[in-house]
Chain A
């Protein structure tokens, strides 16, 4: 294991690599399915019965298939048989933690990690979730009705925002760094950035980065209160980032796990990484609790800082996985930020938002979309930005690709922005 060298800013002790992925998403519950969905621009939306009731107004959701998690009793849940989960683990999980747990098992297998690799003081876990409002609601109701001693002893553990780290650190016996991130839709990209730091500085050799959200009315519907959700009832139209007629995002949930490792561990284990995490940047809008700065100043700066941190220039970027959620304001802000960064038309990158296929995963988005970028870098393609009939004129000058490009990207940016104007940008590089 590396010795921790005295920390001067930006002193690099180790490069950082992505060595494993696990995904439970609306576009697939395994890597092969997800790759197919990304390449072929297959979305994961359905008109969902729970949502599609008069008075609710919201019809379309990015559903998680093969998981039946509507009950407040985890012992009722149905999930794919390959995941064997003890009752004692299940009882402390909300739907989001269940998705994360399954994604964790996938990622561990994908990275070919042994128990010793996972469970040691040099391996940590950073997680991001908004918690489970569904379970919180149920528990509070039950507490008022029958008294708190009649509530599940693990109610709090299963429902508050830290639920992913509580559960995963305990059940996977993580002895290294652990923490939860709470910056709304930027959360899991913050997790990625800080996990990168742990390895870069030699403080950890391996980090799991986890993002997960429930996928139900409690986690998604409240956004209709701020008129942020699309009112479309056609699953093929509803999520259309950068389209001129976009009217709000489509919610989704699921779980994503990205495994980061140091150079030393990659060499020791003899594994071939998906990609290198070359650097990251973050900056805030300081503008409004929920609305992004109209000129995207925070995102602009975050991208600039990410480029500087990774030693890359804007000209080197081949592809940007935009945050763009399909909201009128948010997509505009990002378009402006992108234009401010990529000023040279000759070298402008391909840009797309995969939220057109998955929907907006909230805390899950950063980790999930990092995984998509890793797959794109390894397999040599750039997913298109789906469902655009007429591009918003505000995007003129940006190369927003409508179809998947079967070309190999070398350097990729991944953006995430959250409430309060948090903006994070990560730079990923292809491995030769």
Chain B
């Protein structure tokens, strides 16, 4: 915990990060906590009290959402209640950096933790915040911050390119990715689908989700030490439970998001969904990709040994042929 010296007593006068259940949480502390949270919903206050009594991290998400809700404009609170982890704090909820400071202060006081400014910088979505607080509570290392990738970056790393690339911008984090794609109306396939009635094919929406999953594999920093997903080896293998809920047309802005469900070489399975505004447009219970690894294409460490590290047997070979697991597509 940072900066203890600069912080006077928190709400209950104790600087113990996570009070042992029942120990230092007196009725006076409870009264002070209730007062500090007086503009939050009763459910939030209840969750906060339970957390301070038991130290159980399961109560934390409700507290965090309740505090964010308290500071959000009334007309934005509905978005929070839908509790989509991809909701972006600044862009979607209109919460500016000063309000973030207010939120953080109240979270710090309520959960008895301290958060410093650097850590805040990377919290972009509701999901980011929940994961962050959860890690702090459990004393786990913080996840790598989610990164925003503009079209230029996406174009540089993806094996898929226009006219078949359906991502305009994306955010990739450790627990998933989100992206946007605007149907321009100029897409080549719209001329025929349908005649005189351009409609985004469901298969292309599924493809877009798959592409976001590809981006996640390439940019999400996964894989073993020293290795990354090889863009030349990523292929679609299967999907399940795919549903289209909404006809999407030129002008619609698709909000895509994927979450990893299972990752075991050589397969990676994701759940994905597309929304247009608040409406569900498409959902895929599972999209499975197959992929191989290659060594991370960075300058080697200055060690003079000729022999490469034992765990990277193909390091000496050119990247294209490097450590590619041979995969055969399942027969289906």
Is A bound to B? yes
Set of chain B residues within 8 Å of A154, measured between Cβ atoms: 98
A81 contacts the other chain (CB 8 A):
no
* CB under 8 Å from chain B, chain A span 128-184: 145-150, 152-154
Min C-beta distance of A162 to chain B, whole Å? 17
Enumerate chain B residues within 8 angstroms of A148, measured Cβ to Cβ: 6
Q: Which residues of A contact B186 (CB under 8 A)?
A: none
| Residue in contact with A152 in the complex, picked from B6, B9, B73, B102, CB distance below 8 Å | B102
Decide if A146 touches B9 in the complex (CB within 8 Å).
yes
Q: Which residue of A lies closest to B102 (CB)?
A: A153
Q: In chain B between 90 and 130, which residues have their CB closer than 8 angstroms to a CB of chain A?
A: 96, 98-99, 101-102, 105, 109
Given contacts A145-B8, A146-B8, contact A153 B101 (CB under 8 A): yes
CB-CB < 8 A to A150: which residues of B?
7-8, 105, 109
For residue A88, CB closer than 8 A to chain B, the reply is: yes
Given A75-B39, A88-B99, A153-B102: A147 and B71 within 8 A (CB)?
A: no
Distance between A165 CB and nearest chain B CB, rounded to angstroms:
18
Please report which residues of chain A, range 65-86, place their CB below 8 angstroms from some CB of chain B when the two chains form the complex: 75, 86
CB within 8 Å: A-B pair count: 31
Most buried by B among A88, A145, A147: A88
Interface residues of A toward B: which range? 10 to 19
Whether A91 is near chain B, meaning CB under 8 Å from some CB there, is yes
On chain A, the residues within 8 Å of B196 by CB distance are none
The answer to whether A149 touches B7 (Cβ under 8 A) is yes
Q: Is the CB of A146 within 8 A of B7?
A: yes
For window 1-47 of B, CB contacts with A under 8 Å fall at 3, 6-9, 39
- Asked if A147 contacts B8 (CB within 8 A), the reply is yes
Tell me which residues across on chain B come within 8 A of A268, comparing CB atoms: none
Q: Are B7 and A147 in contact (CB under 8 A)?
A: yes
Q: Does A87 lie at the interface of the complex (its beta carbon under 8 Å from any beta carbon of B)?
A: yes
A149 CA to B101 CA, complexed, in Å: 9
B8/A87 in contact, CB under 8 A: no
Chain B residues numbered 160-198 whose CB sits less than 8 Å from any CB in chain A: none
With A152-B102, A153-B101, A153-B102 known as contacts, the answer to whether A88 contacts B8 (CB < 8 A) is no
Could you say which residues of chain B place their CB within 8 Å of the CB of A149?
Answer: 3, 6-7, 105
Instruction: Take A75-B39, A153-B102 as given contacts and tell me if A88 and B73 are in contact as well, using a CB distance cutoff of 8 Å.
Output: yes
Residues of B within 8 A of A88 (CB): 73, 96, 98-99
Q: How far is the CA of A153 from the CA of B102 in the complex (A)?
A: 7
* Cβ–Cβ contact A87 & B7, under 8 A: no
Shortest B7–chain A CB gap in Å is 5
Bound together, the chains give a CA A153 to CA B103 distance in angstroms of 11
Q: Which residue of A lies closest to B71 (CB)?
A: A87
A429 → B minimal CB distance (Å): 45
Min CB distance B63 to A, Å, is 18
Interface size class of B (residues with CB under 8 A): 10 to 19
Choose from B9, B73, B101, B109 the contact partner of A87 (Cβ within 8 Å): B73
Considering only CB atoms, which chain A residue lies closest to B100 in the complex? A153
**Chain A neighbourhood of B98, CB < 8 A:** 88, 91, 153-154
What mask results when residues 188 to 219 of chain B are scored 1 for a CB within 8 Å of chain A, else 0?
00000000000000000000000000000000
CB proximity of A73 to chain B, nearest CB, Å = 10
**C-alpha spacing A371/B237, complex, angstroms:** 77
A152 to B8, CA, bound (A): 15
A149 to B102, CA, bound (A): 10
Separation in Å of the A304 CB from the closest CB of chain B?
49
Q: Which of A273-306 contact B (CB under 8 A)?
A: none
A145 to B6, CA, bound (A): 10
Question: Closest CB of chain B to A153's CB: distance in Å?
Answer: 4
- Give Cα A91 to B73, complex, Å: 13
> Which residues of chain B are within 8 angstroms of A152 by Cβ–Cβ distance?
102
Instruction: Give 1 or 0 for each of A174-209: 1 = CB within 8 Å of chain B CB.
Output: 000000000000000000000000000000000000
Q: How far is the CB of A155 from chain B (nearest CB, A)?
A: 11
Which residue of the partner chain A has the closest CB to B72? A87
Question: A394 to chain B: closest CB distance in Å?
Answer: 54
Residue among A75, A146, A148 with the highest chain B CB neighbour number at 10 A: A146
Q: Max chain B CB contacts within 10 Å: which of A87, A149, A152, A154?
A: A149
- B109 to A, closest residue via Cβ: A150
The closest CB in chain B to the CB of A150 belongs to B105
Kindly list chain A residues whose C-beta atoms are within 8 Å of the C-beta of B73.
86-88
CB distance from A163 to the nearest CB of B (A): 15
What's the least CB distance linking B34 to chain A, in Å? 15
- Which A residue sits closest to B95, measured CB to CB? A88
Q: Whose C-beta in chain B lies nearest to the C-beta of A88?
A: B99
Q: Give the CA-CA distance A152 to B96 in the complex, in Å.
A: 14
Contact residues in A for B7 (Cβ distance below 8 Å): 146-147, 149-150
Nearest B residue to A142, CB-CB: B8
Chain A residues with CB under 8 A of B8: 145-147, 150
In the complex, which of the residues B3, B9, B102, B109 contacts A91, with contact meaning CB atoms closer than 8 Å?
B102
Q: How far is A148 from B105 in the complex, measured between Cα atoms in Å? A: 11
Nearest opposing residue in chain A for B7, CB measure: A147
**Assembled-state Cα–Cα distance A153/B71 (Å):** 14
Q: Closest Cβ of chain B: how far from A198's Cβ, in Å?
A: 31
Complex: chain B residue closest to A146, CB-CB: B8
A-B pairs with beta carbons under 8 Å apart, 9 shown: A75-B39, A88-B99, A146-B7, A147-B6, A149-B6, A149-B105, A153-B101, A153-B102, A154-B98
15 more CB-based (< 8 A) A-B contacts, given A146-B8, A146-B9, A150-B8:
A75-B39, A86-B73, A87-B73, A88-B73, A88-B98, A145-B8, A146-B7, A147-B6, A147-B8, A148-B6, A149-B6, A150-B7, A150-B105, A150-B109, A154-B98
